[in-house]
Amino acid sequence: MKNILFALLFLTACTARPQVLVNQLGHYPDGEKIAVMQGSYTGTFRIVDEQTGETVYENTAGETFASPFSGKRLTHLDFTPMNKPGTYRVVTENGASSSVFSIDDNVLAPLASTALNAFFLQRSQPGHPDTSVMIHSSAVSLERPEGTVISSPGGWYDAGDYNKYIVNASYTTGLVLAGYEKYPGYSLNDGILEEMMYNLQWALTMQDPGDGGVYHKLTTPSFEGFVKPEECKQQRYVVQKSVTATLDFAASMGQAARICRQFPEYSQTADEMEKAAEYAYQWALNNPDALYNQFEMNKQFDPDVSTGAYGDRSARDEFFWASCELYLTTGEESYYEKMMEYAPESFTAPLWGNVNGLGYFALLTHGKATETMKQHLISFCDSIALKAQGAPYASSYGNSERDFFWGCLSESCLSNAISLLYGYALNGNKDYLDQALHNMDYLLGRNPLGYCYVTGVGTKSPVNPHHRLAATDGIPGPLPGFLVGGPNPAKQDGCDYPSDFPDECYLDIVESYASNEIAINWNATLLHLAVALDALSR
Ligand code: 9MR
Ligand code: 9MR
């Protein structure tokens, strides 16, 4: 009894103690290294070697800041000069301590590997052969009347659900292969290309051979329950050809064709992809207004479809991205003209619903960006870098309410970081690289909840993501290597969140699809950024 009491007292003491928040993977030897201690603190801190127990670095605490949301105080502990490889912990005079982390030349390499492997794990399963998929009434053509059965096997599931969506899939392969082209020779590149090709092969089956248009998605009418793939019973359909899906397809196929062209064993595939891309682009030119609007579609066609919409109100950015990729692949003037016609007014970090950034990336990598486009990117990077000043969690991300929404960790935190690295390649401003690393630090643990938001990575990471594959595989715990959506004050899932602060609206329960789902596009940003930082920091 006495022992139990003591243990209880000890536990209470532990939980009451302030935490030192760190990137739970760690840092590159030459990078900036900042830990964030909860509370105001003016004492000293030490870096303790986990193996020997020796203190290898000591310094006094830095500045204290306040969270713009909760008002909580946070103190920076900067140990940038400590650059000896090893495993360490941050310990303060008053007994606070961090989790263990590394300083290592390859510190993000395992993250890149696990993020890539996640795509393999996300491949559609034998329970979904997709060899008898029906043409939905919204997708009929002369050669393919309603109820025609087509085969569309393979590819990854989109996310926590089992459907396959062209807009998001094309964005995903496009962003990952942008990294492939930008960091040639990276150790994982062969595996990356192979995995992206796996999904692109599926995407090819989503093109209507009769006219070049691309079905928006392959889906059940409504989401399946949390059941295993082989227990799913609903008919699967391909739904309405849309201009956004068709252009995203054209862009990513055009890009993949260019990459495949370098390998003799892929030369036939390259031909096939280039042809498919140009055919799709032609369809888009003839159907510029075929936007996907699920609500309107359901008024006209049956059965109603209520799964992920990936809808859009404009295809300008898709026209831009596709024109960029096809110009680079074919060299044809007509694509150049369209690219200039659709060139945006400013740079925005890429996300599934706005793919302008992918056009910039392609042009930059191939030395074809205009001076205006370069200026757009640099002003974007400068505006991001500015946000890091006085940031409580020492990152440009996470200081504004607008930073928190469905999928924000990918679509803001990581997408901004990736964009900063294109800026870094352009003008060599080291602050951009530092800020990209700081966003990664935020993602991997230096944040209000102390979560490392990637499954299977770090000391405290999500274990109950909204992920049907993981939840029904009979094995406790998540599948590894997946980034979750992250804090989202909109709480569309109606779950009972313990906090209303935007940066704390995160819940590690299966039901929380608005904060704890996984998705291929989110993993694309994780993989691209991990590869980029690893390639640049060695
Ligand atoms: O599981 C679905 C997830 O993949 C979607 O992102 C989310 C929003 O569209 O919807 C989830 O499905 C939920 C449905 O929308 C409402 N009923 C509960 C479902 C989750 O079990
Ligand atoms: O990532 C999508 C996010 O931007 C939207 O706000 C959200 C609601 O429409 O849908 C997200 O995408 C989901 C898709 O619709 C269905 N599969 C799961 C995706 C991730 O939650």
Greatest extent of the chain over all pairs of C-alpha atoms, in Å: 83
Answer yes or no: is the C-beta of 223 below 6 A from any ligand 1 atom.
yes
Rg (CA), the chain: 24
Residue nearest to atom 12 of ligand 1 (CA): 223
Whether residue 165 contacts residue 156, with contact meaning beta carbons closer than 8 Å, is answered with: no
Ligand 1 center to 398 CA (angstroms): 26
**Distance of alpha carbon 343 from alpha carbon 348, whole angstroms:** 12
Residues annotated as part of the active site: 161, 466, 508, 517
Separation in Å, CA 59 to CA 36, 46, 53, 76, 182: 14, 7, 17, 11, 39
How far the first Cα of the chain sits from its last, in Å, is 54
Give 401's Cβ-side CA count (13 Å radius).
6
Per-residue pLDDT of the chain (538 residues; tens, 9 = 90+): 344 444 444 444 445 567 999 999 999 999 999 999 999 999 999 999 999 999 999 999 999 999 999 999 999 999 999 999 999 999 999 999 999 999 999 999 999 999 999 999 999 999 999 999 999 999 999 999 988 999 999 999 999 999 999 999 999 999 999 999 999 999 999 999 999 999 999 999 999 999 999 999 999 999 999 999 999 999 999 999 999 999 999 999 999 999 999 999 999 999 999 999 999 999 999 999 999 999 999 999 999 999 999 999 999 999 999 999 999 999 999 999 999 999 999 999 999 999 999 999 999 999 999 999 999 999 999 999 999 999 999 999 999 999 999 999 999 999 999 999 999 999 999 999 999 999 999 999 999 999 999 999 999 999 999 999 999 999 999 999 999 999 999 999 999 999 999 999 999 999 999 999 999 999 999 999 999 999 999 7
Answer yes or no: is the C-beta of 159 below 6 A from any ligand 1 atom.
yes
Whether residue 76 contacts residue 87, with contact meaning beta carbons closer than 8 Å, is answered with: no
**Distance of alpha carbon 221 from alpha carbon 133, whole angstroms:** 12
Residue nearest to atom 14 of ligand 2 (CA): 308
Written as one string, the DSSP assignment of 362-377 is HHHHTT---HHHHHHH
Ligand 2 center to 186 CA (angstroms): 31
Q: Which two tokens stand for residue 482?
A: 């997946």
Whether residue 503 contacts residue 69, with contact meaning beta carbons closer than 8 Å, is answered with: yes
Ligand 1 center to 513 CA (angstroms): 6
Whether residue 108 contacts residue 530, with contact meaning beta carbons closer than 8 Å, is answered with: yes
